Amino acid sequence: MSIEWAGWGLPPLDRAGPEPLRAQLEGGLRAAIRSGRLRPGERLPSSRDLARQLGVSRGLVQDCYGQLLAEGYLTARGGSATRVAATPAPAPAARPAIVVPERLEIDFAPGVPDLASFPRADWAWAVREACRAVPAADLHYPDPRGDRTLRAVLAGYLRRARAAVADPADIVVCAGFAQGLGLALRVIFSAGARTVAFEDPGYGQGEPLTVATRLGFEVVPVPVDEGGIDVSALARSGATAVVLTPAHQSPTGVVLAPDRRHALAAWAAERDAVIVEDDYDAEFRYDREPVGTLQGIAAGRVVLLGTVSTSLAPAMRLGWVVCPPHLTAGIVEEKRLSDRGSPVLDQLALARLIESGRYDRHLRRLRGVYASRRRTLVDALARHAPGVRLTGLAAGFHAVAHLPAGVHEEDVVAAARARSVGLYGMSAFRLSGATTPGQLVLGFGNLGERAIETGVAAVADLISGSGVLRI
């Protein structure tokens, strides 16, 4: 007996819709088979019968059946009926529930730059220039190190702006900090290192730690104080690699002291160790010129990682690795195996942006924006919560608020969220997750001055200790 179209629970064909009738029929049959409404071995109507039922041409039905036969949904033998294949395509697995991020009215999330300040007009100009000038030969599979033009431009920029030792031959363009760190750690592990140190507080239990542990490293925390990473503790840790943020320590905001810079270089030479320098927030400093890279005084021992995630936007996914010469070949090979190279047109656009001076102009404007927001944060806390001390304000776009004795940061964070204000405790940045001493990391990069003022006023009683229970 013929199976009626309506019996399959399929919608009628929409003759007025934009989708062709054949595509509608194929989609309906696939869905019926995947869902189990049409079961393995079940007989389908002949193409003549189904065409008559649907009021379409027999050729359309035959083409549809032929396509589904080719895809493995149907089976047919000469002179016999068309049936659902015995092993049809499996029904898709149940989709896990999607967790919708909490929407906060004011969010002091650290590490987020002013996304509205992305230089759209300048970037559009740079992309047009890149498309206009790129030689056809450069549209082939790229050099895994990155486009030669960008590497040359970056070398000049890093020597000028970051006091780095940079040769284009030792620069590898990558998809942001995460990929650059992964490339470096894989090569360091392959070279024999098995213990890597991380600053504490630092990345906490975040992605960098996950990358290191999955590679097989033993991870050891090394404390940070007002002078930066404790080099003596590092020496005692047994690590032969370390990842750190010397120009603007994340999240404390301290700058690595000059004597510790030299001590780190000496440690690396004595232990035949590798330093991975995350050049975090280096462009944004308010009390003096940006501090140069550690790599500048120990180029043979330092892998320097930089990105445009905070200077332009995280979505750009553009960064670079300045390699010690003895690690360059290994990192280039890891990059080649990873993705065969980063998108060339984006690289050329960034090169044009830097060469033209528009990148520097953008950074100067952003320094002014962040300096103004920084003043607003300081002034708002002085008015609304004068007992709260702020540190880490010399650079970047976050600060550390030190809670009064006895005020638990987790209570503050939870109570603030009840008021639709996002606050973030230092515990998230500690490897141990310790909540004492109580501190908050207040990001102001992506908040306007009015939002900063409003947000501080909304939680002032919490961070000063009068609005939450003391422990």
269 and 317 part of one domain: yes
355-383 pLDDT, tens digit per residue, is 999 999 999 999 999 999 999 999 999 99
Residue at 256: amino acid letter: L
Measure the CA–CA gap between 313 and 150, rounded to whole angstroms: 18
Structure confidence at residue 470 as a pLDDT band (50, 70, 90): very low
Contact in structure between 447 and 435 (CB atoms under 8 Å): no
Region 430-456: mean pLDDT is 95
Picking from 186-195, 408-417, 462-471, which range would have the lowest pLDDT averaged per residue?
Answer: 462-471
Closest to 305 in 3D by CA, of 329, 324, 285: 324
Please report the pLDDT score of residue 306 as a whole number. 96
- Please check the confidence at residue 2 and state whether its pLDDT lies above 50: no
Tell me if 101 is assigned to some domain.
Answer: no
Residue 96 within a domain: no
Q: Answer with the one of 326, 342, 359 that is the final residue of a domain.
A: 359
Both ends of the chain: CA-CA distance in Å? 77
Q: Rounded to two decimals, what is the model's pTM?
A: 0.85
Q: Which of 8-12, 303-307, 463-467 has the highest mean pLDDT?
A: 303-307
DSSP E strands, 286-375: 302-307, 319-322
Is the pLDDT at 96 greater than 80? The verdict is no
Question: Looking at residue 184, what is its pLDDT?
Answer: 98
Looking only at the bridges linking them, the beta strands covering 389-391 and 398-402 are antiparallel
Count of CB atoms situated within 10 Å of the CB of 225: 12
Q: How much of the chain exceeds pLDDT 70, in percent?
A: 93
Residue 470 located in a structural domain: no
Other C-beta atoms within 10 Å of 335: how many? 25
Q: Mean of the per-residue pLDDT values for the chain?
A: 91
CA distance 89 to 45: 20
Q: Supply the pLDDT for residue 17.
A: 86
418/369 same-domain check:
yes
Shared-domain flag, residues 349 and 368: no
In a domain, 92, yes or no: no
3-state helix, strand, coil in the chain (%, to 5): 45, 15, 40
My answer on whether 191 and 329 are in the same domain is: yes
pLDDT at 109 over 90: yes
Q: Please indicate, yes or no, whether residues 335 and 214 belong to a single structural domain of this protein.
A: yes
- Please check whether residues 252 and 371 belong to one and the same domain: no
Predicted pLDDT at 210: 95
Is a pLDDT exceeding 70 seen at residue 467? no
* Residue 251 domain flag: yes
pLDDT band for 468, please (50, 70, 90 cuts): low
CB-based burial label for 226 (10 Å; 0-12, 13-18, 19+): exposed
Residues 247 and 368 in one domain: no
CATH number at residue 63: 1.10.10.10
E strand map for 327-450: 389-391, 398-402, 421-422, 439-443
369 φ, ψ (degrees, to nearest 5): -60, -50
Given pLDDT bands bounded at 50, 70 and 90, which one contains residue 11? low
| Same domain, residue pair 430 and 385 | yes
pLDDT band at 92 (very low <50, low <70, confident <90, very high): low
| pLDDT mean over 149-173 | 97
**pLDDT on residue 245:** 96
**pLDDT grade, residue 471 (50/70/90)?**
very low
The two three-digit tokens of residue 370, written as one number: 């962040």
How far apart, in whole angstroms, are the C-alpha atoms of residue 452 and residue 370? 12
d(CA 337, CA 323): 17
Q: Are 347 and 428 members of one domain?
A: no
pLDDT of residue 81: 84
pLDDT digit string (tens) for 63-88?
999 999 999 999 987 767 889 998 65
In a domain, 98, yes or no: no
Q: Which domain holds residue 399?
A: 106-110+361-464
Q: How many domains does the chain have?
A: 3
Structure confidence at residue 8 (pLDDT): 60
- Assess contact for 200 and 325: CB atoms under 8 A: no
Q: What are phi and psi of 192, to 5 degrees?
A: 120, -10
Which of 359, 391, 416 is the C-terminal boundary of a domain? 359
pLDDT, average across residues 107-115 = 95
The enclosing domain of 407 has a CATH number of 3.90.1150.10
- 345 with 370, same domain: the answer is no
Q: Measured in whole angstroms, how far is the alpha carbon of residue 31 from the centre of its chain? A: 36
The pLDDT score that the predictor gives to residue 331 is 98
Of 359, 383, 404, which closes a domain? Answer: 359
Cα–Cα separations (whole angstroms), residue 155 to 11, 284, 307, 354, 355: 61, 20, 14, 11, 12
pLDDT for 5 beyond 60: no
Write down the pLDDT at residue 3: 43
Give CA 75 to chain center in angstroms: 46
Least confident of 34-43, 127-136, 225-234: 34-43
User: Is residue 90 one of the residues assigned to a domain?
Assistant: no
Can you give the CATH number for the domain in which 208 is found? Answer: 3.40.640.10
Mean of the pLDDT values across residues 224-248? 96
Q: Are residues 168 and 38 in the same domain?
A: no
* pLDDT above 90 as % of the chain: 76
Q: How confident is the model at residue 238 (pLDDT cuts 50, 70, 90)?
A: very high
Task: Give dist(CA 175, CA 344) in Å, integer.
Answer: 12
pLDDT tens figures, 244-261:
999 999 999 999 999 999
Position 395 scores a pLDDT of 85
The residue ranking higher by pLDDT, 106 or 288, is 106
> Is 146 a domain residue?
yes
Q: What pLDDT score was predicted for residue 136?
A: 94
Region 279-299: mean pLDDT is 87
Output the six-digit token pair for 106.
């004011």
In this structure, the answer to whether residues 125 and 254 fall within a common structural domain is: yes
Model confidence pLDDT, tens digit, residues 313-330: 999 999 999 999 999 999
